[in-house]
Structure 1
Amino acid sequence: MLKPVTLRGHLVCLEPMTVDHVHELCAAASEDRSTYIYTKVPNGREETERYIESALKSHSEGSVLPFVVRRNDTDRIVGSTRFLDLEVFQLPPSSASPSGASKGTIPTDDNPPTVAEIGNTWYAASAQRTGVNTECKLLMLAHAFDVWQTIRVTLKTDARNDRSRTAIQRLGAIFEGVRRAHIPASDGGIRDTAYYSIVADEWPEVRNDLFQRQQRS
């Protein structure tokens, strides 16, 4: 599996999620919850404990890399995000793949993911509409494209979540379409999911735009 990694920025630090984060993560989630109607955010200590346990189990299985988001100026945890759906493509023999194929489907530091998703993202009310999300995405996209050499990063959200869709589009992600009747919705029922992506060729322009936005924050 991928080893936990810390991603440091000017405004935030993305720390590997651990069981020691229960209290602070619970406190962040307990601020005004009115914006969480379309987002699964743990409510209370017991839910937060299960949330962390589930994320760490998925990490041990190689499918996610979960973080908590800490603001540098206040030293407070203000949310959570993660890499998920990490996948290593099995490639045919080529000059770009001297061994003839990738080393396995579970990504490791020596065999990083070919594609990834950024998701399960939520922020405390006090961190919303600040520069937090821009820097988090810049840090994570840079790690995916510059360190892992990932070829695509996916972002998705409940199709009804106009606020989230606007934020994703502002990153420079391209809308791919809506997968209908996709998964259970956080507010009950079944949700349609809007899919977006950024591919490697688009990353330099996206990085420059995010950097400029970060400088203005």
Structure 2
Amino acid sequence: MLTPVTLRGSLVSLEPMSIDHVPDLCSAGSEDRSTYGYTNVPDGADETKRYVEGALQSLEKGRALPFAVRHLETGRIVGTTRFLDLEVFSWPPPWPPGVATGPSPSDENPPTVAEIGSTWFASSVQRSGVNTECKLLMLAHAFDSWHTVRVTLKTDARNERSRSAIQRLGAAFEGVRRAHVPASDGGIRNTAYYSILAEEWPAVRTNLLARLHRA
């Protein structure tokens, strides 16, 4: 199992999510919800508790590493994000291909590939540099500490706001997976996929640092 870590920057601190974060996440999600049309953001205390419990179950199973995002200037919890879809490649590859992966991710066997997702923020900190620094901290951990070879980011194909934010990171568009999963609005979601490779990380890091400097 991967040991939960705290990732700290100048604007935010990403804390390992715990059940104690439920009230603060509930408060963060209760601000203006008009930007959450395509995003799964819990509404109210009961939904937030189930949301956190689900994230912690994924942590226990080695499938995710969830964070609560603390805004350092105010001290408030302002949202959440996580690593998910963590996979360790098996070397040499198994035969036939695709029937098995390597060991579960752990400190001794860090993820070969990862995804950053399940990200949402209170409306009061959107477009403030918070998301940019969260991505910088997480990508640095993935590429510099785990030596991950690919980080995936994905979103509802209709979510132009989210797609623009991902593209501004410098991620490459891979395509749209049709009829992928249930959508947050009750329909069936087509999912837009993006990725950053290890060799692209230095340029992405330079871009993110420049954007933070301008924020």
TM superposition score normalised by structure 1: 0.94
Output the CA distance in 2 between the equivalents of 1:65 and 1:164. Answer: 21
Q: What is the DSSP-based 3-state SS (H/G/I as helix, E as strand, rest coil) of the residue aligned with 1:36? A: coil
Q: What is the DSSP-based 3-state SS (H/G/I as helix, E as strand, rest coil) of the residue aligned with 1:116? A: strand
1:37 alignment partner in structure 2: 37
Q: Deviation of residue 104 (structure 1)? A: 4.0
Q: 1:210 and 2:208 equivalent?
A: yes
The match for 2:188 among 183, 190, 196 is 190
What value does the CA root-mean-square deviation take over the aligned residues?
A: 1.1
The match for 1:158 among 156, 159, 169 is 156
Output the CA distance in 2 between the equivalents of 1:164 and 1:105. Answer: 33
How many pairs does the alignment contain? Answer: 208
TM superposition score normalised by structure 2: 0.95
Please give the per-residue CA displacement for 1:131-160, whole angstroms capped at 9, x wherever unaligned: 000000000000000000000000000000
**Structure 2: where are the runs of 5+ without partners?**
94-100
2:62 alignment partner in structure 1: 62
Q: What is the DSSP-based 3-state SS (H/G/I as helix, E as strand, rest coil) of the residue aligned with 2:35? A: helix
Output the CA distance in 1 between the equivalents of 2:68 and 2:148. Answer: 22
Q: What is the DSSP-based 3-state SS (H/G/I as helix, E as strand, rest coil) of the residue aligned with 1:74? A: coil
1:48 alignment partner in structure 2: 48
Output the CA distance in 2 between the equivalents of 1:132 and 1:164. Answer: 14
Q: Deviation of residue 91 (structure 1)? A: 1.2
Please give the per-residue CA displacement for 1:81-107, whole angstroms capped at 9, x wherever unaligned: 0000000000129xxxxxxxxx94310
1:74 alignment partner in structure 2: 74
The match for 2:115 among 90, 100, 117 is 117
Please give the per-residue CA displacement for 1:6-29, whole angstroms capped at 9, x wherever unaligned: 000000000000000011000000
**Structure 1: where are the runs of 5+ without partners?**
94-102
For the 8 Å contact 2:154–2:192, the answer to whether it is kept is yes
Output the CA distance in 1 between the equivalents of 2:212 and 2:50. Answer: 34
Q: What is the DSSP-based 3-state SS (H/G/I as helix, E as strand, rest coil) of the residue aligned with 1:82? A: strand
